[in-house]
Structure 1
Amino acid sequence: MAERLGIPHHRLDTLAVDEDASVARFQREARADIAAITARGLHAIVVGGSGLYHRALLDRFEFPPTDPAVRAALEARGEDEGPGVLYRELAAADPEAASSIGPANTKRLVRALEVIHLTGKPFSSGLPRHEYEVPAIQIGLDVDHAILDPRIDARVEAMWEQGLVDEVRTLEGHGLRDGVTARRAVGYAETLRYLDGELDAEATRALIAQHTRRLARKQRQWFRPDPRVAWIAGPVDPSDVARAAADAIAVATGHAR
């Protein structure tokens, strides 16, 4: 809480660990937050996170139908046969979607195959386009992997030292293993394997760092093609980033000197 510096934050601590996250619910509730902030004469700052959720929030994006039975059957296959089977099936049906999602994101593979099954159309045809529903100025921080990767390693070590294992053990009692979203989250998924005796501490930390680096690269791949993003390259000092972001906002709003 101290790190929030008294600034109101939204969309944090909204789900129990046994609830599944829904991009449609996030879109609805986060847009309501933005509307309320705007109505107070203020500006919302969106910080992300998942590229899909970010785009669903800001861009025109309608959600295709869902069927709990179809989804459950696909999830069961993912659990029993592994995500690789789902990925190969998606690659055959919709190569663009498979390339975008990758072979490790079981949840999104399931969703893509569910949509194809229900609509008969490629999942990629329904992905959001670069067209705002909620107008925004987008700023991306482009940090070289030589700088980013050691910071990820240090972050994982800090998480471990500050009680990640105890946190996961406690959350088990609140239904963590029953939550499709939470139990697969980077950090939780690997620590559950540690508690099950599959991994030792060193291997667990290494795997969390590896999966976090993979996530960072996927974020870069997601946002890089968006021509609306103003990229800040190079600086990592917070004051340098703040000045560069202010300059980007000034240019976007026509107030550059």
Structure 2
Amino acid sequence: MENSSDFKKNAPIVPIVVIVGPTSIGKSKIAMNTAQLFNGAIVNADSRQVYRYMDIGTAKPSKTDMDIVDHYLFDVVDPNEEYNFARFLTDARQSIITINESGKLPLITGGTGQYLFGLIDGYQAPAVPPNPSFRADMIRKAEEEGSMELWKDLNLRDPVSANKIDYRNIRRVVRALEVCHEMGKPFSEARQRASTSYDEIIIGLYMDRDDLYSRIDARIDAMIVQGWPEEVRKLLDMGFTQDLSAMSSLGYREIASYIKGEDSLENVVSKIKSLTHRFARQQYAWLRPKSRNINWVDVSDVQFMSDISFKIEQHLSKFDLTV
């Protein structure tokens, strides 16, 4: 197979590669290597890397990497702007069209499972605009009674959606309740699915849990050295407050509390590591039910990149790659 071949432009079925796995496992680097091997371009499916000025804490690809390989859906909006599932689906689908028309292979990667699988499963997000008053009421309830009580409300109205949403993810719980409220039916029924024009191979990355935790801790330490506190200080100086949705990204509010003198850096770093360990566990748990569709690769194996390349080559061999 000629890895540098252009992919069939405007093909009725578009081959895509999807790379999934927990935080810190190396998705971005592996996506870069894969893009260079297979003449690809990368589409971001991380709900935090869409924000400008939030580079270190969200582990965005370097400018050098972005110069070498085309990257889409990074630095799309300012931290005080809303970016949601519906907009991602529109932007990602257009990015895939653009990449395919350029004769390259679309590679989708990121840590937001809702984005990744919503895209490849053909979900159409409900066309329900935000209701600021309703959202404020729901957030107030979560603050006064706890996020579990809010989740229980969702479970009564839409147990299907509640079963898929972590009660601690207040933003997603509120959105599901908002759709129920505005449309008068469960969010799970309002979300429609359509056939897609994609033929995807999903590469799942894993490694020993303790080794992953060590990698997470080392990356967080490196981020601190690289200037993560200074990045957060700049965001606050620019007027981007802690209550913004963008600032709920792992570690940003914790570091903001350090900058404001409310906590020590040592305590903050320890909290961020614990939160990130928990997040990695949640990502694994979220991916487990979908395992039958995932080609798992152990990244601790010295031959893991060869394994990934072989699996992708097998998938792409079904397509006519000549121009």
- TM-score, normalised relative to structure 2: 0.70
Please point out which of 24, 34, 41 is paired with 2:103: 41
1:30 aligns with 2:92: yes
Partner of 1:66: 129
Q: Is the 8 A contact 2:125 2:192 kept in 1?
A: no
Name the amino acid aligned to 2:107. I
Partner of 2:294: 229
Q: Is the 8 A contact 1:56 1:128 kept in 2?
A: no
Partner of 2:308: 245
Shift of 1:28: 0.8
Partner of 1:7: 69
Name the amino acid aligned to 2:313. A
Name the amino acid aligned to 2:209. H
Please point out which of 199, 202, 221 is paired with 1:138: 202
- What CA distance in whole angstroms lies between the structure 1 residues aligned with 2:161 and 2:171? 13
The residue matched to 2:305 in structure 1 has which SS? helix
The residue matched to 1:135 in structure 2 has which SS? strand
- What CA distance in whole angstroms lies between the structure 2 residues aligned with 1:140 and 1:209? 23
Residues 127, 223 of structure 1: alpha-carbon distance in 2 compared, 3 angstrom cutoff: farther
The residue matched to 2:106 in structure 1 has which SS? coil
- What CA distance in whole angstroms lies between the structure 2 residues aligned with 1:133 and 1:118? 31
Shift of 1:163: 1.2
- TM-score, normalised relative to structure 1: 0.87
Partner of 2:171: 107
Aligned-residue sequence identity (percent) comes to 33
Residues 124, 203 of structure 1: alpha-carbon distance in 2 compared, 3 angstrom cutoff: farther
Shift of 1:145: 0.8
Shift of 1:63: 1.5
Shift of 1:170: 0.4
**Which structure features the higher share of helix residues?**
1
**Which structure features the higher share of strand residues?**
2
Which protein has greater RCO, CA pairs closer than 8 Å, 6+ apart? 2
Q: Is the 8 A contact 2:242 2:256 kept in 1?
A: no
Name the amino acid aligned to 2:166. G
Residues 147, 230 of structure 1: alpha-carbon distance in 2 compared, 3 angstrom cutoff: same
- What CA distance in whole angstroms lies between the structure 1 residues aligned with 2:257 and 2:79? 17
Q: Is the 8 A contact 2:124 2:194 kept in 1?
A: no
- What CA distance in whole angstroms lies between the structure 2 residues aligned with 1:229 and 1:131? 19
The residue matched to 1:150 in structure 2 has which SS? helix
Aligned residues: 253
Where structure 1 has 5 or more consecutive residues not aligned to the other structure, the ranges are none
Shift of 1:12: 0.8
Please point out which of 209, 213, 230 is paired with 2:277: 213
- What CA distance in whole angstroms lies between the structure 2 residues aligned with 1:19 and 1:80? 26
Partner of 2:150: 86
- What CA distance in whole angstroms lies between the structure 1 residues aligned with 2:162 and 2:238? 34
- What CA distance in whole angstroms lies between the structure 1 residues aligned with 2:283 and 2:192? 16
- Greater shift in the superposed pair: 61-70 or 161-170: 61-70
CA offset digits 1:40-85 (Å, max 9, x no partner):
1110111112001112222211122234232333234334544233
- What CA distance in whole angstroms lies between the structure 2 residues aligned with 1:216 and 1:135? 27
Where structure 2 has 5 or more consecutive residues not aligned to the other structure, the ranges are 1-62, 319-323
Residues 179, 134 of structure 1: alpha-carbon distance in 2 compared, 3 angstrom cutoff: farther
The residue matched to 2:111 in structure 1 has which SS? coil
Residues 119, 144 of structure 1: alpha-carbon distance in 2 compared, 3 angstrom cutoff: farther
1:21 aligns with 2:90: no
